Amino acid sequence: MQQTIENIRSKALEAIKNALTTDNIEEIRVEFLSRKSELNNIKKNLKDLSNEEKRIIGPLANKVTTEIETQLNEKYQELYQKELNEKLEKEQIDVTLPGSYLPYGKTHLLTQTINEISEIFEGMGFSLVKNENSPEVETEYFNFDMLNIPADHPARDVQDTFYTTVAPNVILRSQTSGAQIHEMLTSKPPIRVIAPGRVYRNESVSARKNNLFHQIEGLLVDKDITFADLKGVMNEFIRIYFGSARPTRFRNSFFPFTEPSAEIDVQCIMCNGKGCRVCSGSGWLEILGAGMVDPNVLRNVGIDPEVYSGFAFGMGVERLAMLKWAVDDIRLFFNNDVRFLKQF
């Protein structure tokens, strides 16, 4: 019996000595010290031994148990430290390495352009219309009727305007000019507002035209407003937006809701007026429509044209961005290709 215990002891100590991991230690612990272990069996069966044997075997079994326990714990500590060090070594972070690159987003060129133009007009005392005065889903009444555009006007043609199935008169607005009407119906002169937003036209998509694009509408109504005021404001806007006093040209034009009306051209930024592909050889680029608010429109919204006058203008945001940044295809604004977007 004594020899058996001795054997267990040397087997256990040998195993502990050869253990390589803390997991090994746990296996050894189970093998030599668990309830089902040989040593434990001996202790359980002590009662069957003679008194003399009990006196020797009992203390010996306990001594060996304690010895194995102590050895196991020591070795466990040693291996645990070793494993921990290895782990720390492996997971070490080199803080001197360069960090990983996180791509950051930026404001879309269209939004940048809208913000920039809005700020220029805000600097001249204009403010943004309230959202509810500039709805994208509009009625023909605001988009056309109130703007002096008669029912048989070609602009209403289903080929140009997107009609909805909501109701016969509900459309996607084809211009931001309806915001003029909303504004004049809800506030009294003096009025000085701009209304940027999306407009929709049922046209075939090309490098120059998209079904969806953006306009910025402007409206100023007060006493004694003349065409000279319109000209001054437009020239100031162009000077600030294009960064220098570019030559401009006011061309006689027609809009049902302004009289007189003009289209404003800016000297071609590509060829400085010499004539090139972009300006179709003319040396000029059209950037906006404008005019004095038609007396009929003022009457429609209950403003007395004998007392008040005003001007309105509308510009295409994509067009202005394309001119400033030499972008040659309007579809680039809507394709969401980061290679394009990150350039601005």
CB of residue 215 to ligand PHE, shortest distance in Å: 6
Is 314 near ligand PHE (CB under 6 A)?
yes
Is 210 near ligand PHE (CB under 6 A)?
no
CA dist., res. 292 & res. 117, Å (int): 21
149 contacts 159 by C-beta, under 8 angstroms = no
For 318, the 3-state DSSP assignment is: helix
Is 144 near ligand PHE (CB under 6 A)?
no
Residue 291 per-residue DSSP state: E
CB closer to ligand PHE out of 72 and 293: 293
Is 258 near ligand PHE (CB under 6 A)?
yes
Closest CA to 264 of 229, 243, 234, 239: 234
175, 210, 248, 267: which one binds ligand PHE (CB under 6 A):
175
Q: How many residues at the interface with ligand PHE, by CB under 6 A?
A: 10
312, 317, 330, 332: which one binds ligand PHE (CB under 6 A):
312
Residue nearest to ligand PHE (CB): 314
CB closer to ligand PHE out of 12 and 195: 195
Exposed / middle / buried, residue 233 (Cβ in 10 Å: 0-12, 13-18, 19+): buried
CA dist., res. 161 & res. 157, Å (int): 6
CB of residue 312 to ligand PHE, shortest distance in Å: 4
Is 148 near ligand PHE (CB under 6 A)?
no
How far is CA 27 from its chain centroid? 56
Residue-by-residue DSSP string for 22-89: HHHHHHHHHHHHSTTSHHHHHHHGGGGS-HHHHHHHHHHHHHHHHHHHHHHHHHHHHHHHHHHHHHHH
Q: Quick one: which segment of 28-36, 49-57, 68-76, 307-315 binds ligand PHE (CB under 6 A)?
A: 307-315
Q: Quick one: which segment of 123-131, 201-209, 221-229, 310-318 binds ligand PHE (CB under 6 A)?
A: 310-318
Return residues touching ligand PHE (CB under 6 A): 175, 177, 255, 258, 289-291, 312-314
